[in-house]
Every structure is written in structure tokens, then in C-alpha cells.
Structure 1
Amino acid sequence: MRTGIATVCLSGTLKEKMQACAIAGFDGIEIFEQDLVTSPLSPEQVRGMAADLGLDLDLYQPFRDFDGVTPDLLKANLRRAEAKFALMSRLGMDTILVCSNVATATIDDDGLRAEQLAQLAGLAGDHGINVAYEALAWGKYVNDYEHAYRLVEMVDHPNLGTCLDSFHILSRDWETSHIEAFNPEKIFFVQVADAPKLSMDVLSWSRHYRVFPGEGQFDLAKFMGHVVRAGYTGPVSLEVFNDVFRQSDVERTAVDAMRSLIWLEEQSAQWLAGNAPEGTPAAGGAHRRRYPMELATLPKVNEPAGFNFAEVKADDTAQLEKLLGQLGFEFEGRHRTKDVQLWTMGQARVIINEQAASHTEPSIAALGFDVDSPVIASARAQQLKAPVVARKVQADEEVFQGISAPDSTEIFLCQGSPDGTAAWTHEFGEGLEHHGAGTSAVIDHVNLAQPWQHFDEAVLFYTSALALEPQPFAEVPSPSGLVRSQVMETTDGAVRLVLNLAPVQQASGHKTYQEHIAFAVDDLVATARAARDRGLDFLQIPANYYEDLDARFDLEPGFLATLKELNLLYDRDADGEFLHFYTATVGSVFFEMVERRGGYNGYGAPNAPVRHAVQYDSLHP
């Protein structure tokens, strides 16, 4: 699959955008007209730079408001078009995007539109230019991709074809299977963009909220499957208008964009394999049908089987050590060659890392996941543009396969064990690899705060590299604003990762992103009592919360009194119950202890505003 991206997706100058696209590995680019108009580079210099970078110049865009106009305006439009065709010749480009008219169309007549498009195609042909006609979702008279294609067929000119844009099609819920009936020689270009499902006018949705494939909710694999079946062989190019992307680091955004196309290519291949056309044998195996566009796939991996460990980095570890001890964790010792500690409770393992931690407040630094094959999982992640994290090891030490997440959290892919043990723990003391076997404490979930400019990138990263499934996102109120929360989890819930786009909280003049690790136990009340006896500083829950809790659930008075006594929070749904408590925050980290009863699969979301408010008060006494 030939990959492309529109320069409008990225921040920076045209030169910076082109360099970033080449670094990310794109085959070609679309030049957005404004990027060229504002650039000090001449068209000839842009052409030469593209050649030096190994980039094709695939599409010049957009040419707006051409069709359905009066004769006088048509004359002016043709003059404008001829100037652009001459410019494209200087650039060495041969395809221009023409959008269906939004602003100046006054005549709703397909015959007239076809006649005017025919004149445009003839003029384009004189200059060796192809016109890709696209139906904008908010076009005045033409807003349906099938309507645009019918006009192309009516004109029947070799230099006029259509452009298929996933956003304009899927935002209107148009059926995509009809693409397969299109003449592939008349599909001149394909653009893809994802988006969250929003209730708003389509123009605003398009201009501000498009995201890269895998970061939204559109069924792009199905869309691409129909495009492939139609016989299209040209570029698949990203056209994403997004306020965040156009403020973010250009090289990083380009890599994220490339990752999204790699992921989409794999997802599209899987859709084709599992959805044979009607009247053909079931897809898959030796009978898989081949299409003119070849779709590459990645090394296949299963979703993680569970958390292997969580790592917290800190300069001064005294508070962390005290907190873990109060929760009931056991200190297992220091690593024999590294300045790190191991603490365990059952199968929940926490590493305290003091290496290169000068002036570092406690923060979550790394997560380990149990996977079937760390080497294969790492190879997949690297093909998805994940940066490699290397750690120095000596003889007889575990070699972890490490990659870096968008928020710089280090992700280590560990060899899973059926009994939940970890062989690497012997590096902290002989026999520890079997310590805690048979007990029930595990890491239940980890909550990571995401910088605003990398939130969507993180969703795609964990989806594509770790096979976690994004759940519907939620917004949680806090005293400093709404917190967008995105749960990523495995099918069985063995791995639960919560990504929060949290407001920046101010503490003593420093910005603090709060994150936490949650541990599941069988008996939370007993765990809380034991922790209290060890002197644990619980997050103090207001009495008003328990009055509201009683009104909502009509709890048994003795049970309600126990919850209040121990600062426990409670939630219940049709499947079960959820008990949990929080510790005070150390640096940017706090801990949560939970007990899941029955089939409860949530996170106590109704209690999140209470937690945010109490933590806010602790930072603003």
C-alpha cells in the first residue's frame, strides 16, 4: 500500500513538514495550497526537495467552489484553474483535488455540473493534469460520494475521476459497499481520516476533530476493504484537520500518522480475510483472494495475559517504602547489580527505581506486561514505530524487550508464566520467583495521565502495539475541569489501563500530573483495617459522600458504618459490587486498593469526582 499524508495534518513550515514526512517513512504527500503560498521555497525548490527526500508529490489541494455556477463565474474559475495547472507543472504534480461547491453554486442541475466539469477536465488534459472530484459532506448540492461518481461517469473524460474521503463518507453514514462497483480507473485518489462519534454540524466536526486511523470510532477497515476490492492501486493518504496535531511536534505527529496507516493496513487485510464477497468461498487460508493493492500485515500477537510489574522512580524513596509497607507489601530486597528494590504482595510486584533519579519526585516510570512471546511482540511494536528502550544487563539477568509509550512510560514485554510467577525476581534473592504463588493480590489497573498533545497518540499506541481494546471514553468532573478518561483493556480484564487527559494541577508552583496503581485483593475491609493498624494515611472521604451513598443504595447500617470508618468507597451495578480506597499522594503517585465482587467490571466511576475533589483540597489547603 502506498502511503501519503496531507501537509495540513502537521505543524510547522512546508520544509519542516516535508522533512518530518520523509523521516516517518511516507511514500508521498499532498501539498495543501496554503502551505505552498506561505512558503519561501519556489515550486521548483519544493520539487527538488521532495526528490531529495524520496517523496512523491501526489496531490495538490484544494480547488474549491467550481461547479454549478453562472457563466461569468465559470469563466473566472477556469482562469483560476489554468493558473493552478501551470503551477502544478512547475511542481511536477499531476493530480488536483476539486471539492464539490459549497459557497458559490446557484444552479442545482447535474447536466450543467457535468458540462462545467467537462470543460475543467479538458483544460486539465491540455496541461497533463488529472482532476479528482470529491463530494464534501456539507456540499451545497453534491454531498454524496455516489453522486460525485455519477457526475464523473456522465462527463466520461480520461482526466476526470473521483476522490474518496472516508470522513465525508462515514460522517454521513453512507453505505461503503457501493464503492466496489466503481471503475477503479476512475478512482483517482483515496483519503482517510478517523473521528470520534460526535453530535455537531459536520463542517465543525471535520475542521477540528478528525484524528488518525485507530484514534476514533469510524469503521475504516471496512471502508478500505471495499476500496481494495474495487481494484484501486493509488496512494492511501491521510487528510486530518485537528487543532492539537497542528500544535504538536511535527516529527512526532508524522510518526504517529505513519503508525496509524500501518495499523489500518493490517486491519483492512484482516477485514478482507474475514468478509468474503457474496457468492465466493469463505475467505482465509490458501483461498484468500489477491487484489491489485497488496496489504502488508504485522507479526501477530495475542493480548497481554496480565501485568508483570509496575515501576516507580524516585530520588528519595522513604515515603514510597513506608506507604507500600503500610499497605501490606513485603520488601524482597535490592537487585544484585542495580539500584532498585522489589516489593511484593501476592502476585502484585512493585519495583522502586533509584537509578538516575536525582531530583526526581516519585512517578510511574515503567510497566511490565506478560505476553506469549516478548521478541515477537517487540518486533511488532517496532514496526509500528515504537521507540526501543534498552536496559543494561549482566550475565544471568533477564533481558527485557522494552519500548517507549507516547508519554515516555517504558513498556516492558515479559515472558508470561501460567502460575503468575516471574523468573527475574531471583535477581533480588534466590527463591523469590515462587514467592506469593497461590495468593490473590494482583495489579488490577494502572491509571496514567496523558499530556494533552499525546492523548490520541497513546490510544493508538496501546491499541496497535499491545492489542488493548479502547472502551467508550468518559468525562469526569473535577475542581480544576473535566477529566477525559479512556479505558484500554484486554477481553478478559486481566490488563486494565486507564488513560486520563487530566487538568494540570498546581502544587507549590510545580505542575503535577497524578497517576496511580490499583491492587486487587479478596477482602478489602481486612486489608484496610490492617493498613490502618500500620499507620496508613488514607485519603479522607467527606461525610457527605456517605450520606449520599446511603440514599442511593440503602446499605445495611453496619456495613455503611464500616465504609465510613475506614474511608472506603463503594459502587454497585447489575453485575456486582466494588469497594476501594486510596492512599495519600507521594510525588505524583498514589495507590488504590480494590475488591471486585461478582461480575463488576468498572472502576467506581461515580466516586471519581469525590477523589478528585479531596486530592484538589490537599493541594490547595
Structure 2
Amino acid sequence: MRTSIATVCLSGTLEEKLHACAQAGFDGVEIFEQDLLVSPHSPAEIRALAAELGLSLDLYQPFRDFEGVDEELLADNLYRAEAKFRLMRELGMDLMLLCSNVGTATIDDDETAAAQLRTLGDLAARYGIRIAYEALAWGKFVNDFEHACRLVELADHPNVGTCLDSFHILSRGWDPAGIEKIPAEKIFFVQLADAPQLSMDILSWSRHYRVFPGEGAWELDKFLGHLVRSGYTGPVSLEIFNDVFRQADEVRTAVDAMRSLIWLAERTWVHLQQTDGPDAHYPMELATLPQVPEPTGFNFAEVKAESTKKLQTLLGQLGFACRGRHRTKPVQLWTQGRARIIINGQQARNQEPAIAALGFDVADPVRAASRAMQLKAAPVPRQSQADEEVLQAVSAPDTTEVFLCQGTPDGTAAWTREFGRPADAAAPAGRELISHVDHVNLAQPWQHFDESVLFYESTLALSPSPSTEVPSPVGLVRSQVMRTRDGAVRLALNIAPLVMEKPGPSSESAYPQHIAFACTDVIALARDAVGRGLEFLKIPANYYADLQARFRLAPELLATLQELNLLYDRDQHGEFLHFYTATVGSVFFEVVERRNGYDGYGAPNAPVRLAAQYLLTKQG
């Protein structure tokens, strides 16, 4: 599959965009006219730069408001088109995008529109240029891709074909199955975009909220499957209008874009194998990746900090035991059940406690790492001694290090043998009631949220749940849970209001992150923790009055919940009891007990937690 991307997707100058696309591994680019017009470089210089970078110049776009006009305006439009054809020859380009008329069309007649397209085709042929006619979803008379194809058929000109754009097709709810009926030689170009499902006018939706494949709500693997069946073999390009992408680093955005196409190609291949059978063959080649099953659990979570005393105290109060220091690094291991917390003091000068890494149990770490790196994930350099476990790791978009660890049936981890100096180890702090890590909540920079969703879905095979918005005292917090089907791994990605960003160039979020531990008896653990001096996040009395009104709890249970600052939720399956610790740096811990198949996260309680944490920050 030949890959391409429109320069409108990226920030920066045209020259910077071309370098970013080449660095990300694209085969070619679409030149968005505005990018060329504001460039200080001549068309010949842009052509030379693209050749030097190994990029083909696939499409010049857009040319607007041509067909369905009177004869006087048609003459003006042809004059305009010929100027663009001369420019395209300087660029060495032979394909121009023509959008269906939005603003100047006055004649709603297919024969007239087709005749005018034929006239344009005659002019384009003199310059060795082809026209890809695209139905805009808000076109005045032509807004349906099948209607556009009928006009191309009526025009009956070898230099006039169609451009298919997934946004214009799917946003209007058109059935893309009709793509398979279009002669492949008449599909001149294809543009892809995903989008969240929104209720708004299509033009605003298109101009501001398109995202890369896998970051929205549409089944683009099925869309691309129809295209593959048609016999099309040309470029598959991304055309994304998105306010966030146009403000982000162009190289990073280009890498995210390329990851989305690699992932989509694989998803399409899987879809075609399932629907058409393993013996089906098509002219378009779809590259595949090493297949990996879902992770089977969290292997560990790592918190990095210069000062670790508060973290050690907090973990001890929760019943964790220190298993000792690493034999060559300033790193501690704390465990309870299968829950492992690493406290890392390496390269942590002046750093407040923050989640730095997550380990996931996978069937084949080397294969999983290979897949991640083929999806453009950056490997994490790690120094290891000769007798130490070699761990595979890549960096997530928010810089969290993702370790791919060998999963074992008994939940053990070979790397733990590197810890355990007798002088450093401590006895367990009473009975062990925590069994494993239930879920982890990570704050995401606003400009990389969609990138993170795609990263975890494509590299770790985690599935996104519907996103939610949680009210906080300073605005809405958007939350997206990524999880395995069995719930063994649950990863909540949160994007906090901009007011919660720390000042500075990194746009680091001040929104707290947390690790949630699964517990067999949260009331017993809470009482044990109180005995060890743990101070819980204080929950207001108003919450418990509302709780009683909603659930009619037994008076004894309600009193216990309020006494221990526990929170409660219930659904059709079961009950959920949980509590939160105070925040240290940007990290706090949650302990949860799921009863009788409860599968949520206590969502109604999230605003209560956010308000309580906000109050603490205001108090000092």
C-alpha cells in the first residue's frame, strides 16, 4: 500500500512538513495549495526537495467551485485552472483535486456538469494532468460519491476520474459498499480521515475534528476493504483538518499519522481474511505486523522520585513490604500479592513522585516489542549488567515507558531476583489483602490524547471503551478507558482542563495520576491502614447522605463507609467499594473491591474525588 499525507495535516512550513513526512516513512504527499503559496521557495525548489527526500508529489489540492456554472463563469474557471496546470508542471505533478462546487453553482443539471468536467479534462490533457473529482459532503448539487462517479462516467474523459474521501462518505451515512462497483481505473485518488461521532454541522465537524484512522469512531478497515476489493492500487492518503494537529510538533504528528496507516492496513488485512477467506488475493498489498495477543495483566508499576520517604510510608500503610534494593541501581521493589511497585531514584533529581513506567505481562516480549517498533514506537534504552534480565521497552506518547514482560501462569517475574538485599528487605505489614493492580490512571497532554489512544490500541491490542467527561472544580476531565476483553488490564487515559497544566514548554499536566489495587476485603484493609496511620482522602458528609438516598444502604454499612472515608457504587451486576490515599507529588493510590461481577470504576464518585483533591490543594 502506497502511503501519502496532505501537508494540511501538519504544523510548520512546507519545507518542515516535507522533512517530517520523509522522517515518518511516507511514500508521498499531497501539496495543499496554501502551504505552497506562503512558501519562500519556488515550485522547482519544492520539487527538488521532495525528490531529495524520496517523496513523490501525489496530488495538488484543492481546486474549487468549477462545475454547474454559466458560460461566462466557466471561461473564468478554465483560465484559473490553466494557471494551476502550469504551476503543477513546475512542481512535476500530474494530479489535481477538484472539489464539487459549493459556492458558485447555479445549474443543477448532470449533463451540464459532466460536459464542463469534460472540457476541463481536455485542457488538463494538454498539460499531462488528470483531474480527481471529489463530492464534498456539503456540496451544493453534488454531495454523494456515487453522484460524483456518475458525472465522471458521463464526462467520459480519460483525464477525469474521482477522488474518494472517507469523511465525505461516512459523515453523511452513505454506504461505502458502492466503492466496489467503481472501475478501479476511474479511482484516481483516495483520502482517509477518521472522526469522533458528533452531533453538529458537517462543515464544522470536518474542519476541526477529523483524526487519524483508529482515533475516531468509524470502521475504516471495512471502508478500506471495499477499496481493496475494487482493485485500486494508488496512494492511500490522509487528509486531516484538526486544530490540535496543526499546533503540535510536525514530526511527532507525522509519526502518529504513519502509525495509523500501518495499523489500518493490518486491520483491513484481518477484516478481508475473515470475510473473504485466506485464499483471497487483491492487487493492493497490505503489510502485516507480528500478531500479539492481549496482555494478561500488569507486571509492575514504577514511580520515579528524588525523595522516596513519603512513598515508602504510604505503601507500608497499605500493607506492602519492601523486598529490597536493586543490586546495581538506586531502585526499590515493594510488593503485596501480585502487585509490584518499583520506586526509582535514578536520574530523578528535583523530581516529585510521578508514574514513570508500566510493565505488562505478554506472551512473547520480543515479538510484542517488534510489533511496537514497526508501529513507530521509540525503544527505551536501558543499561543491564551481564547477569540481569533483558527487558523490552518502548516509549508511549506521554513518555511513560512501557515494558513488555514475560507473563507466567503463577504471576512470578524473573527480574525480581535482582532485588532483595537482606538489610533492605522488610517483613509484610500485616495480612496481605491486596491481590494485584486493578487499573492505572494516566494523565495525557491535551495535544497527544488521540495519539495515546491509537498507541495503546495498536501496540498492546487494548480496546477503547466509550469516552466520558467527568466534572471537576476547574472544568471537565475527559476520560478514555483502554482495556483487555477480560479486564485483566485496564488503563484509563485522562485529559485534564488546560488550567491544570504546569507552566513550561513541556505542557506537563498537574492532574494527579494513580494506581488502583484490587483487594479482597477493602473494609478490613482500611481498618488495618488506619491503624498504621494512613490518612485517607476526606469525603464530605453530603456524599453519604446522597448515597443513602440512591441505594438505601443498611445503616451499619453506611456508618462504616463514612467512618473510613470509603466510597460506594452499585450496578446490575454487583457492588464496588473503594478509597483513595492522599497525593504525593502527582501520584496517589486507590484500593478497590469488586463484588459479584461489578465491572466499572465508580464513575459517579470521580467528581467527589476530584473536588476533595482540589480542596486539599487550595488548603495548602
TM-score when scaled to structure 2?
Answer: 0.97
Equivalent of 1:313, from 288, 304, 328?
304
Decide whether aligned partners of structure 1 residues 219 and 544 sit closer, same or farther in structure 2, where only a CA change above 3 A counts: same
Report deviation, 1:430: 8.6
Which residues in structure 2 correspond to 1:88-167 (within 5 Å)? 88-167=88-167
Which residue in the other structure is 2:267 paired with?
A: 267
Aligned counterparts of 2:501 and 2:540: Cα–Cα separation in 1 = 22
Tell which deviates more after alignment, 389-398 or 298-307. 389-398
Return the offset for 1:503.
2.1
Partners of 1:341 and 1:351 within 8 A in 2: yes
Distance 1:387 1:495, change over 3 A: same
Provide closer, same or farther for how the CA distance between residues 185 and 243 of structure 1 changes in structure 2, counting only shifts above 3 A: same
2:573 to 559, 572, 575: 575
Task: Provide the residue aligned with 2:15 in structure 1.
Answer: 15
Which amino acid letter does the alignment assign opposite residue 255 of structure 1?
A: V
For 1:482 and 1:54, the matched residues in 2 are separated by: 44
2:176 — aligned with what?
Answer: 176
Equivalent pair of 1:504/1:512 in contact (CA under 8 Å): no
Equivalent position SS for 2:569: strand
Partner of 1:529, secondary structure, is helix
Tell me, in whole angstroms, the C-alpha distance in 2 between the residues paired with 1:440 and 1:205. Answer: 46
1:520 aligns with 2:514: no
| Matched position secondary structure for 1:267 | helix
How do 1:593-608 and structure 2 match up within 5 A?
593-608=591-606
| Residues 1:572 and 1:208: Cα distance change in structure 2 (over 3 Å) | same
Output the CA distance in 1 between the equivalents of 2:597 and 2:200.
36
Whether the 8 Å contact between 2:327 and 2:421 is mirrored in structure 1 is no
Gaps of 5+ in 2: none
SS, match of residue 263 in structure 2: helix
Per the alignment, residue 448 of structure 1 pairs with: 442
1:232 equivalent in alignment to 2:232: yes
Choose which of 350, 355, 369 in structure 1 pairs with 2:360: 369
CA–CA separation in structure 2 for the residues paired with 1:154 and 1:440: 71
Give the Cα separation in 2 of the matches to 1:418 and 1:172: 49
Where 2:601 maps in the other structure, the secondary structure is: coil
Asked if structure 2 preserves the Cα contact closer than 8 Å seen for 1:478 and 1:612, the reply is yes
1:487 counterpart = 2:450: no
Question: 1:396 maps to what in 2?
Answer: 387
Deviation at 1:70, TM superposition (A): 1.4
Distance 1:480 1:316 in 2: 29
Letter in 2 for 1:550: Q
**How far apart, in 1, do the equivalents of 2:214 and 2:533 lie?**
46
* Deviation of 1:504 (Å): 4.7
1:198 correspondence with 2:198: yes
SS at match of 2:51: helix
Q: Distance in 2 between matches of 1:543 and 1:32?
A: 58
Residue type of the alignment partner of 1:491: R
Q: Name the residue aligned to 2:344.
A: 353
Report the alpha carbon displacement of residue 426 of structure 1 after superposing the two structures with TM: 1.2
1:219 aligns with 2:210: no
Q: Which moved more, 1:262-271 or 1:498-507?
A: 498-507
Per-residue CA deviations over 1:569-589 (Å, capped at 9, x if unaligned) read: 001110111111000000000
**Structure 2 letter corresponding to 1:152:** V
CA RMSD in angstroms, aligned pairs only: 1.6
Aligned residue pairs total 610
Output the CA distance in 2 between the equivalents of 1:491 and 1:76: 59
Structure 1 counterpart of 2:442, which letter?
L
1: distance between equivalents of 2:502 and 2:99?
A: 53
1:301 paired residue number = 292
Alignment partners' CA distance in 1, 2:108 and 2:570:
57
8 Å CA contact 2:501, 2:511 repeated in 1:
no
Letter aligned with residue 92 of structure 1:
G
- The alignment status of 1:620 with 2:618, answered yes or no, reads yes
1:332 is matched with which residue: 315, 323, 327? 323
CA positional deviation for 1:429: 2.6
Partner of 1:464: 458
Deviation at 1:457, TM superposition (A): 0.3
**Matched residue SS, 2:60:** strand
Partner of residue 532 from structure 1, selected from 502, 518, 530: 530
Structure 1, unaligned runs of 5 or more: 277-282
Q: Is the 8 A contact 1:506 1:619 kept in 2?
A: no
Rounded to whole Å, the distance in 2 between the matches of 1:42 and 1:35 is 12
Residue 210 (structure 1) aligns with: 210
Q: Report how far residue 173 of structure 1 moved.
A: 1.3
Give the Cα separation in 2 of the matches to 1:65 and 1:474.
Answer: 40
458-467 vs 65-74, greater mean Cα deviation: 65-74
Aligned residues of 2:433 and 2:520 also touching (Cα < 8 A): no
Q: Distance in 1 between matches of 2:432 and 2:97?
A: 63
The residue number in structure 2 matching 1:79 is: 79
Point out the more displaced range, 115-124 or 509-518: 509-518
1:136-168 Cα distance to aligned partner (Å, 9 max, x none): 011111010000001101111000000000110
Name the amino acid aligned to 2:257: A
Is the 1:488–1:496 contact (alpha carbons within 8 Å) kept by the matching residues of 2?
A: yes
Following superposition, the deviation at residue 332 of structure 1 comes to 0.8
Q: Is this contact kept in 1: 2:362–2:405, CA < 8 A?
A: yes
How does the TM-score come out when normalised to structure 1? 0.96
Percent identical residues: 69
CA contact (8 A) 1:373 1:415 kept: yes
Partner of 1:562: 560
Query: Which residue identity does 2:461 align to in structure 1?
Result: A
In 2, the alpha carbon distance for the partners of 1:148 and 1:159 equals 15
Residues in 2 aligned to 1:402 and 1:269: alpha-carbon distance in whole angstroms: 27
Deviations 1:298-342 (A, max 9, x none): 000001000000000000001000000011111111011111000
Distance 1:440 1:586, change over 3 A: closer
Q: Deviations over 1:30-78 (max 9, x none)?
A: 0000000000010000000000000000000000111111111111101
Question: 1:229 is paired with a residue of what secondary structure?
Answer: helix
Q: Distance in 1 between matches of 2:78 and 2:501?
A: 61
Measure, in 2, the Cα distance between the counterparts of 1:201 and 1:415. 49
- What does the per-residue CA deviation read over 1:227-250, in whole Å, with 9 as the maximum and x for residues that have no partner? 000000000000000000000001
Secondary structure, aligned partner of 1:275: helix
Q: Which residue identity lines up with residue 338 of structure 1 in the other structure?
A: K
Aligned-partner residue type, residue 539 of structure 1: L
Deviations 1:2-49 (A, max 9, x none): 000000000000000000000000000000000000000100000000
**Aligned residue among 409, 412, 417 for 2:403:** 412
Q: Aligned partners of 2:178, 2:199: CA distance in 1, in Å?
A: 26
Residues 1:102 and 1:505: Cα distance change in structure 2 (over 3 Å):
closer
Aligned-residue offset at 1:365: 0.3
SS in 2 for 1:620: helix
